[in-house]
Amino acid sequence: MHASGNGSSNSQRWLLPYADVVTLLFALFAYQYFAVSPGKSAPTATPGPPPVAAVVAPPAEKDTERELLEKQLGLALQDIDSKTVQVEKQERGVVVVLCDSPLLFKPGSSQLTPAGQQLLARFLPLMEHTRVKMRVEGHADNTPIHDAQYADNYYLSLGRAGSVARCLLDGGADPDRLGLMAYGERRPVASNDTQDGRARNRRVEILFQY
């Protein structure tokens, strides 16, 4: 009985070393198999997507692109009266402001005039070479509308922004990079207490986002 107990104890002491040996032999076999077998290669880790920081343009590069676009837009529209269209550099990007002018829209209408379409065609080529996102924003004053076509200023601003966006799309703008927004009277840039202020508030802005 005593000898039998010693045999059991000795066999248990070999359990862990034996398991380690089996593991090492398996690892050695796997290494030799991939090393000598033709057409076989050890599995490699699939590279993951690059970090976001690797694809984001540095601020200095964005500033350069913004300044170049602002200059090109200014040259394309340099002979147009500033009461009709303006180019502004803002924190959110470069903005082309289409003012409330009979050259662009008839009073109370959301349809671009032929002259307005020709004006937009001036900087359509620039849109083909820029990869920035664009957004057309419609604005209005706070004068109540008494019109069967538009329930209020919001819908008038939406209609005008839509006409500009449609003109840009017809001219070749990328629909995946073009957005549309209407604010109605909610974002004035001047006082609505004067005729001049109300005219400034009636506008369509084309934002080039950076």
127 assigned to some structural domain: yes
95: its two tokens: 């903005």
pLDDT at 179 over 90: yes
Q: Which of 170, 164, 92, 172 is nearest to 126 (CA)?
A: 172
Helical segments of the chain, H only: 2-13, 15-36, 59-76, 114-121, 124-129, 153-170, 195-201
**Is 90 found in the same domain as 18?**
no
Are both 31 and 73 inside the same structural domain?
no
Can you tell me the mean pLDDT for 116-136?
A: 85
> pLDDT at position 46, please?
47
Region 141-145 average pLDDT: 93
Q: Are residues 73 and 10 in the same domain?
A: no
**Residues 98 and 177 grouped into a single domain:** yes
- The count of structural domains within the chain is 2
Q: Is residue 21 part of a domain?
A: yes
- What's the predicted TM-score (pTM) here? 0.69
For residues 184, 187, 189, 195, the Cα torsion angle rounded to the nearest 10 degrees is 40
60, 125: one domain = yes
The verdict on 157 and 64 lying in the same domain is yes
Look at 22 and 71; give whichever has higher pLDDT: 71
User: Does some domain include residue 65?
Assistant: yes
Pairing of strands 85-90, 178-184: unpaired
Q: Are residue 101 and residue 15 in the same domain, yes or no?
A: no
| Stronger pLDDT, 7 or 82, i.e. the higher one | 82
Long-range contacts of 64-70 (CB under 8 A, 24+ apart): 65/130, 65/132, 65/210, 66/93, 66/94, 66/208, 66/210, 69/94, 69/126, 69/130, 69/132, 69/208, 70/94
Residues 157 and 60 in one domain: yes
Query: Is 43 among the domain residues?
Result: no
Does one domain contain both 123 and 171? yes
pLDDT band at 210 (very low <50, low <70, confident <90, very high): confident
CATH number at residue 78: 3.30.1330.60
Q: In the prediction, which pLDDT does 85 show?
A: 93
- Asked, for residue 25, whether it belongs to a domain, the answer is yes
User: Would you state the pLDDT for residue 19?
Assistant: 56
Let me know whether 166 and 121 are in one domain: yes
Q: What percent of the chain has pLDDT over 70?
A: 70
Specify whether the CB–CB gap between 80 and 119 falls below 8 A: yes
58 and 123 in a single domain? The answer is: yes
Asked which of 122-126, 133-137, 183-187 is least confident by mean pLDDT, the reply is 122-126
Say whether both 130 and 31 belong to one domain.
Answer: no
Looking at the DSSP assignment, which residues form a beta bridge with residue 97?
86, 205
Residue 42 lies in a domain: no
Q: Determine the structural domain holding residue 11 and report its residue range.
A: 2-36
Q: What are phi and psi for residue 76, nearest 5 degrees?
A: -70, -25
